[in-house]
Amino acid sequence: MNRSNGRDLDWSETAGADFLQLDRSQAPPGGLSDWLAGTLRQAVSDGRLPVGGTLPPTRVLAAELRVSRGVVTEAYRRLAEDGHVEGRGRNGTVVVAAPTGAADRAPASPRAAPAPRAPFAGPPGHDVWDTLRAAPARIDLTPGVPDLAAFPRTAWLRAERAVLTSLSAAGLGYGDPRGTPALRRAVADWLARGRGIRADPAEVLIVAGTAQALALIGQVLRHDGIRRIAVEDPGALGARQQLHGHGLATPPVPVDAAGLRVDALRAVGAPAVLLTPAHQFPTGVVLAGERRRALMRWAGEGGLVVEDDYDAEHRYDRPPVPALRAMLAERVTYAGSVSKLLAPALRVGWVVAPPRYRDDLIAAKRLTDLGNAALPQLVLAHLIESGALERHLRLLRTRHRRRRNAMTAALAAHLPDAVVHGAAAGLHLLVTYDAAVPDTELAAAALTRGVKVQPLSWHAQRPGPDGLILGYAASTPDDIAEGVATVAAVLRGRRRGAGPGRG
């Protein structure tokens, strides 16, 4: 018998709860507890209330449904008697078991879920990075990640406490889409000290990493009538994907030991070029002095340079190289981030653009997301201004150099015939080899042995040598040695009877 029939309640009022979208009008008169118990039981059965889920307090749910508390208490009691929920005092009423046969009552899927796509099966698509990250591996030597275990947690927490202590209530509202003034000042100072760039804080736009920087630049260039932006070849696949996503063609310009070939850039005829002059990805070469001067002449004649300064701070055996932005500010759009300094998860970067594109980039950023989250910006500004970020960079250089040395030693021991590129700086090495084994096949075989690497061919638009891009910053020296030994063993095992390579 239902102990709470609800006859004293005014049914002319509509009452419901956000929880499970419960609607009291669906209950028959005099059967509120029956209806509520049955609805909750069905929610447990179909998974809307999973095992471990918590039901609302009886007083709260009764108030939302405008029923007496006894109605809810009775429904919960019935589920407890069935063994579906359990009262746990201050932890509330918790779902502990689904009804028997619930799986049998679940609607059958019309078709089996597709198997996950193998990272190296066919040409890389836009989801290739998600697929590669999700692929399990004992040792991850993919490039582009710093030593995340070295993240300065104590300094970050100290900076966060300092920011929250001094932050006004107004500081928690919507802010400037260009970024917080504090971070724009700090970035301007950081670029002046470390990259030779003289920029006013008003020229700095804070973005969600270099990926968003390229997306915004692509939008603005497209709106300005530019349909082609030349890129280095080989050059970062991810950057090309960002530009393609905004309708820009990316004609390739070859890279040699002196960097981008400016004569080939002129022959391509594109009005803009994206390049990584301080540490070319993936070859690791530095754009030579004469090439820089030739590129600046090309830009002075009307060309636009987009400079991706993705990891210029990480150098070990060579002097610093000034940014191109410092040479011809009117024709260079500069982009950088903290992904290689602190962690990609922060999603904080910056763009310094020529006056011609500055307002359009700010407008594109405003329409995209109204600006980055303010609190991480303020914490990062505090780290920069206090000197903590510079101290962290010195620590990273020591750790990364040790790991770079471990990788070069392992390559010398296990792949003595391979050619190693870009060892003087950065977070990765490029290794090319003289064997008729396609690099995608080698990377796929290494992954089956638990080692994750990236094939050079992913980043090339024209035929070229086979090779692997090996990141070392995020792995221990022991893992690096084991990973390189595994790749070498796989390569030796596939040399016999292998078909022709790509180039």
The residue extents of the domains of the chain are 19-105, 128-149+395-495, 150-390
What is the mean predicted confidence (pLDDT) over 32-39?
92
What are the distances in angstroms from CA 217 to CA 211, 352, 417, 479?
10, 11, 41, 38
Strands 259-260 and 204-207: unpaired
Fill in the amino acid letter for 492.
Answer: R
What is the mean predicted confidence (pLDDT) over 444-468?
96
Q: What is the CATH number that goes with domain 128-149+395-495?
A: 3.90.1150.10
Name residue 273's beta-bridge partners.
Answer: 230, 305
What are the distances in angstroms from CA 33 to CA 24, 38, 57, 348?
11, 8, 15, 52
**CATH, domain 150-390, list 3.40.50.1370, 3.40.50.300, 3.40.640.10, 3.40.1640.10:** 3.40.640.10
Written out in words, the top-level CATH class of the domain with range 19-105 is: mainly alpha
Residue 502 has pLDDT above 60, yes or no: no
Sign of the C-alpha dihedral computed for residues 116, 120, 121 and 125 taken in this order = positive
What is the mean predicted confidence (pLDDT) over 130-157?
95
Question: Which H or E element spans position 266?
Answer: helix 262-268
pLDDT band at residue 380 using 50, 70 and 90 as cut-offs: very high
Lowest model confidence (mean pLDDT) among 80-89, 150-159, 174-183: 80-89
Strand order in the sheet with 93-95: 54-55, 93-95, 85-87
What is the mean predicted confidence (pLDDT) over 436-463?
95
Three-state secondary-structure class, residue 464: coil
Phi/psi at 45 (nearest 5 deg)? -65, -40
* Tens digit of each residue's pLDDT (9 = 90 or more) over 282-323: 999 999 999 999 999 999 999 999 999 999 899 998 888 899
What is the mean predicted confidence (pLDDT) over 440-461?
96
For residue 160, what are its two tokens?
């966060």
Query: How confident is the prediction for the chain on average, in pLDDT?
Result: 90
Q: What percent of the chain has pLDDT over 90?
A: 79
pLDDT band at residue 496 using 50, 70 and 90 as cut-offs: low
Which residues fall within 8 angstroms of residue 388, CB to CB, at 6 or more apart?
Answer: 152, 155, 159, 382
Three-state secondary-structure class, residue 501: coil
Residue 494 has pLDDT above 90, yes or no: no
Fill in the amino acid letter for 84.
Answer: H
Strand order in the sheet with 272-275: 204-207, 349-352, 332-337, 304-308, 272-275, 229-233, 252-256, 259-260
- pTM (2 decimals)? 0.83
Residue 122 has pLDDT above 90, yes or no: no
What is the mean predicted confidence (pLDDT) over 145-164?
96
Query: Environment class of residue 42 by beta-carbon count within 10 Å: exposed (0-12), middle (13-18) or buried (19+)?
Result: middle
Lowest model confidence (mean pLDDT) among 24-33, 273-282, 411-420: 24-33
What is the mean predicted confidence (pLDDT) over 390-405?
96
What is the mean predicted confidence (pLDDT) over 237-259?
97
* Tens digit of each residue's pLDDT (9 = 90 or more) over 335-378: 999 999 999 999 999 999 999 999 999 999 999 999 999 999 99
* Tens digit of each residue's pLDDT (9 = 90 or more) over 77-107: 999 988 888 998 888 999 987 655 444 444 4
Smallest Cα–Cα separation from 119: which of 439, 418, 434? Answer: 439
* CB of 456 closer than 8 Å to CB of 469: yes
What is the mean predicted confidence (pLDDT) over 23-38?
89
Same fold yes or no, 128-149+395-495 and 150-390: no
